[in-house]
Amino acid sequence: MKRLFGILVVLLAILVSFCFAEKVVIEFWHAMGGGHGEALKEIVEMFNSLNPDIEVKPVYVGRYGALLQKILASAQGNTLPVMAQSYANWTSKLIAGGYVEELSKYINDPEIGLTKEEWEDIFEPFRKMVTWGDKIYAMPFNKSTYLLYVNTDLLDLEGLEIPKTMDELLETAKTLTQDLDGDGNVDQYGFGIRPNVDTFQIFLRFNGGRIYDEEKKEVTINSPQAKEALQFMVDLVHKYKVAFMQGGYLSGPFGDGKVAMYIGSSAGMPYV
């Protein structure tokens, strides 16, 4: 929470030098709903109370898909807000179109910017994700990592431990996949899986592969490791029949007891 507030303040401090005469009102589009939205509201209210010459107005646009559509449409219509939450690949498109202000000169400004120590205190991968070449076009806002969510009660009931490899994941999922009422249909799946690129990349990395070879500057999506990883995902659903698959978030099926384990973003913890 502290780091998120600091990053938001830094972004807004860029505008401090322009607000001597009258209050500056800043519209900020985001996709933070639920508990995340409440946390963001508190951060914005704190900032506004500490900076009476600036008023940030957070606007919840909807989920990420809706936010992306609104940003791209507004870019075409020249109606973008001062600030918006944006994935790196979205930002790349906006940079190419000339819609994003470079922030390097503000961040390096001795009065309103960050010191070298403050900038390097931000986790390096996060800094790289907002830097194109030697120019900074964004600031890290919200980041998450993928976790294995596990119903530990079910594991304890079966005398199992949390799996640490894909082979262990398969065997654990087999044990936890059960027809609880004896009607011939699976009521509880050992694993839940979302068929998207993020899930694929997790399985790929576990299998020793990558989507892109940075040293050779080659796309390696067709490597043997990639094919094996994708086949394993398919087999979990169709061959072993131990995985429940859906395109949406799996926190719901997990909470309902339909799946015993799933890989999901740490951002989903408030919904579990």
Structure confidence by residue, pLDDT tens digits, 170-222? 999 999 999 999 999 999 999 999 999 999 999 999 999 999 888 888 999 99
37 within a domain of the structure (yes/no): yes
Would you say residue 141 lies in a domain?
A: no
CA distance 193 to 244: 6
Q: What are phi and psi of 31, to 5 degrees?
A: -125, 30
Domain containing 116 equals 2-136
**113, 154: one domain:** no
Last residue of some domain: 79, 111, 136? 136
Q: What is the number of structural domains in the chain?
A: 2
Residue range 78-85: average pLDDT?
Answer: 94
CATH of the domain at 213: 3.40.190.10
Of the three residues 88, 108, 136, the one that is the final residue of a domain is 136
Is the pLDDT reported for residue 21 higher than 80? no
Burial class (CB in 10 A: 0-12, 13-18, 19+), 221: middle
- Average pLDDT on 54-68 reads 94
Give yes or no for residue 69 having a pLDDT over 90. yes
